[in-house]
Chains A and B, each alone.
Chain A
Amino acid sequence: MKNALGSVDSVLLLGGRSEIGLAIVERLVRDGARHIVLAARGGTTADAGDEPQVAGSARPAEAADGPQVAESAHAMDAAVVRLKKLGAEVFVIGFDATRPETHGQVIDSAVDLVGDLDVVIPAFGVLGDQATYDADPVSAAESITVNFGGHVSAGLFAARRLREQGHGTLVVLSSVAGVRVRRANFVYGAAKAGLDGFAQGLGDALHGSGVRVMVVRPGFVIGRMTKGMTPAPMSTTPAAVADAVVQGLRDGTETLWVPGKLRLLFTVMRALPRPLWRRLPR
């Protein structure tokens, strides 16, 4: 239960290796959360045990996923150790964003492990780049399946559970990329635009149920996902996003811009005429 001072006890992170997701979870644990479920591709359905699970044995998919996934898997293992050191009970379960038919089961498993879910954070996603999507439209459709479709099924299953329990917050990681879609990354931006709209609609549908949806709109996040890219102006970091999310949970914020000044910037950006907008360098 969220307490009188806005601290929570249980958190489900879908996309358990997400840098932003883990940063949020770590802050919530520092603030008192004690029951954590990390749902990640290749995770097992058992308790994470005393030692972090060794990559490879529990996650057969990793080798095929390449070095970036191996790196994030390592980050999750390290996070599990840190979270436990901070006093939390941590469970790792399997989750595949591309298989919506399994998402209900994932939510149920999390509830079996920790009871009521105070915060659910679907943090999975792929960035990709527009040139690759142009060259391989199938990969573009697959990215939409993760960045939008997966969030819709996971979000709706989570919302059903939260509605039953009469409390809880769904944290949806949208992006300024979806506030107004740019030509430089319009496949990613379109997915985020869809997700943003979905999250707002879901939040309105849940109004009065005791459940909240918080839409988070970070700017360019300097982190593992954007490694090698030049940061855009008003960029942010996973740590800054996480700080803002934790404060937003405390305050019951519905729409969160990180950094906050992006709200004003995008009021202007949304009003820019198309001929001007399409000339933006990136």
Chain B
Amino acid sequence: MTFLTGWGRTAPTPAKLVPARTPEELAALVAKAPPRGLIARGLGRSYGDAAQNAGGMVVDVTAMRDRWSLDPATGVVTASAGMSLHDLMRALVPRGWFVPVTPGTRHITVGGAIAADVHGKNHHIDSSFGAHLRSLTLVTAGGNVHVLTPEDELFWATVGGMGLTGLIAEASFACVPIETSRMRVDVERTRDLDHTLEVMTATDDRYRYTVAWIDLLARGPRMGRSVLTRGDHARRDELPAGTDPLAFAPAARLAAPPWAPNGLLNRLSVRAFNEAWYAKSRERRVVQDLAPFFHPLDFVDGWNRVYGSRGFVQYQFVVPFGEEPALRRIVSRLSAEGVVSFLTVLKRFGPGTPGMLSFPLPGWTLALDIPSGQAGLAGLLREFDEWVAEAGGRVYLAKDSRMRAELLPAMYPRLAEWRKIRDSADPAGVFRSDLARRLSL
């Protein structure tokens, strides 16, 4: 038995961790699934308990990373589920291609990207990962192998389905052509929340990639002040002569210390960081590498340890356009309570995918990282859950580690439809996770 947690390092549970290297091995494991079922696990970047299965089996697919191919005419990549976006970028960027969607880390697997239907800074233009998916190979209950396409309903139950429809073995998706491995980035500061929303609404569509970092500890007239980072892939003629346009060598990683005290990230230290960050982020245009633009935190290996042994909770929700008052209400409550969130990120979503449990919908999404020891946090987040659900929004399952089952049908109106398809694909409930048990999925 191995104790596993998500990236937030909370609520560890033991499971039999079994590696799989080939689709045949996946099928064999499913065929003799233990009574407590099994779930796939990639690089463990889901924040909560999505890739844990107390008392059951967890299938480690990270060894399934040896097979990939690129069709240079169309940019369609076919890759094993255990390949990471990091692996893919190292292979693709020098060939002039970029993954269609990357979240804030490239250390996630292709399988995980599909199961969580991940989004990135280009959601307002390009939607989420599932929108670029051409086909996927799924090992379902009983060990049957299916090749699914967007015409299949099981395909859209799997995109965003948190691994509960089966084990993803392989997937094909369309990549994006790039001239260089650099980003042309505009940085701009905003005064307060209204100003942030206004600028993002007015100018988001001029950039393929946009995101706002919010200083949640700023109060009063400065509440919601932000640093906007917006960029596009740089063209070849924007680089100085003599540089290799497609070089991709992310800086060697620093390791976070193996141990940090609880409470290192407190109101004082986070406020100091926020002040400094806001102050240094004057309006400017820069050309920078892909890695620091998309994955600044990947530079520090194991940054999640900085939160101490108690770990942290990530809370990400979306509310539809027109429900800005709900967003404002939550931000002002967070600011008033002085909730310490080390990285608070605001993003405008575009259209979602047909994934039944897929998170994104057109609207505003806010993501918070909160040390889990903060007093009153459970009650506060429960209150937010209700506001979000009332506003027709939802909480992101790949980040969740603490929500209750009762609001889920309101947040995910297609839950019943998803359950029906899942139940017919997996009538005995072979695919189980702690998240599934906690949320009665």
A interface residues with partner B (beta carbon < 8 Å):
1-7, 9, 31-32, 34, 87, 115-116, 163-167, 208-210
A193 and B1 alpha carbons, distance in the complex (Å): 33
Task: Type the 1/0 row for B37-57, where 1 means its CB is closer than 8 Å to any CB of A.
Answer: 000000000001100001110
Task: Type the 1/0 row for B3-17, where 1 means its CB is closer than 8 Å to any CB of A.
Answer: 100001011111100
If the complex has contacts A1-B434, A4-B8, A34-B404, are A166 and B13 also in contact, measured as CB distance less than 8 A?
Answer: yes
| B residues less than 8 Å from A87 (CB atoms) | 406
Cβ B438 vs Cβ A165 within 8 A: no
- Count of chain B residues near A, Cβ 8 A: 32
| A residues less than 8 Å from B403 (CB atoms) | 3
Cβ B54 vs Cβ A210 within 8 A: yes
| B residues less than 8 Å from A7 (CB atoms) | 378, 402
Determine how close the nearest CB of chain A comes to the CB of B40; give it in whole angstroms.
Answer: 18
Determine how close the nearest CB of chain A comes to the CB of B310; give it in whole angstroms.
Answer: 10
| A residues less than 8 Å from B3 (CB atoms) | 210
A9 and B437 alpha carbons, distance in the complex (Å): 10
Cβ B48 vs Cβ A4 within 8 A: yes
Q: Report which of B14, B55, B56, B401 forms a contact with A3, defined as CB distance below 8 A.
A: B401
Q: Tell me whether B420 is interfacial, beta carbon within 8 Å.
A: no
A9 and B402 alpha carbons, distance in the complex (Å): 11
| Given A4-B402, A163-B55, 12 additional A-B pairs, CB 8 A | A1-B13, A1-B434, A3-B402, A4-B313, A9-B438, A32-B382, A32-B404, A34-B406, A164-B35, A165-B54, A166-B56, A210-B14
Segment 353-409 of B: residues with Cβ below 8 Å from A:
372, 377-378, 381-382, 401-406
A167 and B35 alpha carbons, distance in the complex (Å): 15
Cβ A31 vs Cβ B378 within 8 A: yes
If the complex has contacts A2-B11, A208-B1, are A166 and B438 also in contact, measured as CB distance less than 8 A?
Answer: no
If the complex has contacts A34-B405, A166-B54, are A1 and B437 also in contact, measured as CB distance less than 8 A?
Answer: yes
A72 and B311 alpha carbons, distance in the complex (Å): 42
Q: Tell me whether B236 is interfacial, beta carbon within 8 Å.
A: no
Cβ B36 vs Cβ A3 within 8 A: no
| A residues less than 8 Å from B372 (CB atoms) | 4-5
A274 and B20 alpha carbons, distance in the complex (Å): 63
A163 and B405 alpha carbons, distance in the complex (Å): 24
Cβ A167 vs Cβ B54 within 8 A: yes
Determine how close the nearest CB of chain B comes to the CB of A9; give it in whole angstroms.
Answer: 7
Task: Type the 1/0 row for B112-149, where 1 means its CB is closer than 8 Å to any CB of A.
Answer: 00000000000000000000000000000000000000
